[in-house]
Amino acid sequence: MRYFKLFLIVVLAFFQTSLSAQNQSSTRKTAAQETLQKLSTMYYLIDNFYVDTADLSALTEEAIVAILKELDPHSAYISKKDVEKANEPLVGSFEGIGVTFQIFQDTILVVSPVPGGPSDKVGIMAGDKIVKIDGEDAFGKKVTNEYVAKHLRGKKGTKVTLGIKRGSDNELIDFEVVRDKIPLNSIDAAFMLDKNIGYIKLDRFAQTSMQEFEESLAKLKAQKMKSLVLDLRGNTGGYLNIAVELSNQFLKKDMTIVYTEGDKSPKQIFKTDKNGGFTDGKLVVLIDEGSASASEIVSGAVQDWDRGVLIGRRSFGKGLVQRPFNLPDGSVVRLTTARYYTPTGRCIQRSYEKGSEDYFNEMTKRMKHGEFYHSDSIQFPDSLKYATLLSGRTVYGGGGIMPDIFMPVDTTFATKLYTDLIRKGVFNAFTVDYVMANRDVLLDKYGSFEKFDADFDVTDSMIEDFKKLAENKGVKWDEEQFKRSESMIKLQIKALIARNEWDMEKYYQVVLKEDKVINKAMDVINDSNEYRSILKR
């Protein structure tokens, strides 16, 4: 009843004026007009006779959210104040001082300045602690991610004065930083896995993604790349046009990439408009249960055209198209208007008939059902069977994209100890401290990441320090569990040191060496017979 009352309010807020004329000609009312007349009356009654003064603005916002929840899981309302923030990850930039940071012991710790950004230009360094902002203390329990965003972000051209504590020096260093536009990269890493195989990790489909991808592809081609692994694991999607442009990179001209269709949205087909930049080399696309929307468009097109091999686990199954509609106060409704279909006609969207709560519990159900661990736990009826467009391989619809090669979740190192170390932030705390204390030593001893990667080992004394920190943070140390997780614990420590000393790409270069999905992708590419047999070429 509460939601219904709110429904009345919100609809009437937008239609009250237009209905006054319609109500005069009752003989020609449609069902919709009759409903709106009823709502208009209800709105009038609340506005004029309700016991208290109703906050109609707040009720309207709550009502819109409730209404959209009844439609589908992906229609969404964004209030005026949140519109800019919601678009930020896809637009690909924000305005601020340009640092990657983490809150470490109630203090803002600079993990790294954005290269060429405002902080980098004035000399702020990785490991610096921001303890004053415009003369006020910037540490303690008040320091949260929201606090940092509020005080360090701001319009381009505005100034902020930072008090920086560097190393063991007690005297603060003052920096005046002029805020500027800061790019948000959507590609986390692009490097060679071996002398022939390139790797690109795409985090989301943002406005800048194609420029980043083309630059990454050119870099890898210059290093003699012949085959490519495109990592879309955990990529929740983004802009449709970017998914189309990325798919275009792998396909020949005039091939269907995806089409959309809805009851009130005529069928719209998206095709390649030119030959792409990587149409001939071997291609492997990695997906998992976190790959959604635009990721599923790309992987579906690659699979349907037998262009490359998909490895991983069944994707999320988000195939609903949202179109933004501006509301009068500057807020936005992202309303679902159509569904995505792969070139063979497979609907990407999985069912949401049992409601949003059940829909978003899908991953838990998949895990309990064993889908993350055993490929034979996934059963598809014959009615969902489709044939790929070149070789006629069998693929399945029904929501999400099923890979050609299933790879289970790696549980070899999974222990309660390892989970607690992540949950309590021990890895980050230890590696930040280690790099701050040993930055000059690391540079003097190794000089470059390549030498660090080849020669650095996590020592027993480091593990002892790591154990002490873990126990201080409330982690119960279990030696038997440590032995089971030891190799991954050491790998994470090394990878995070590389990230803090260099950048995020170096983290991936370290940690992917033990990634079983990556190793399988490399095996498939290096075995031409297996690669061709999967694609039935």
Catalytic residue IDs: 293, 304, 318
Under a CB-based contact definition with an 8 Å cutoff, are residues 302 and 283 in contact? yes
* CB within 8 Å of 495: residues ≥ 6 apart: 506, 507, 508, 510, 511
Q: 3-state class of 331 per DSSP?
A: coil
Closest CA to 378 of 398, 358, 360, 394: 398
Instruction: Report the alpha-carbon distance of residue 189 to residue 502 in Å, rounded.
Output: 13
Instruction: Report the alpha-carbon distance of residue 468 to residue 475 in Å, rounded.
Output: 10
Under a CB-based contact definition with an 8 Å cutoff, are residues 122 and 161 in contact? no
Under a CB-based contact definition with an 8 Å cutoff, are residues 74 and 340 in contact? no
Instruction: Report the alpha-carbon distance of residue 107 to residue 101 in Å, rounded.
Output: 10
Closest CA to 404 of 306, 316, 309, 517: 309
Element (H, E) at 103: strand 99-104
Under a CB-based contact definition with an 8 Å cutoff, are residues 267 and 340 in contact? no
Instruction: Report the alpha-carbon distance of residue 174 to residue 132 in Å, rounded.
Output: 9
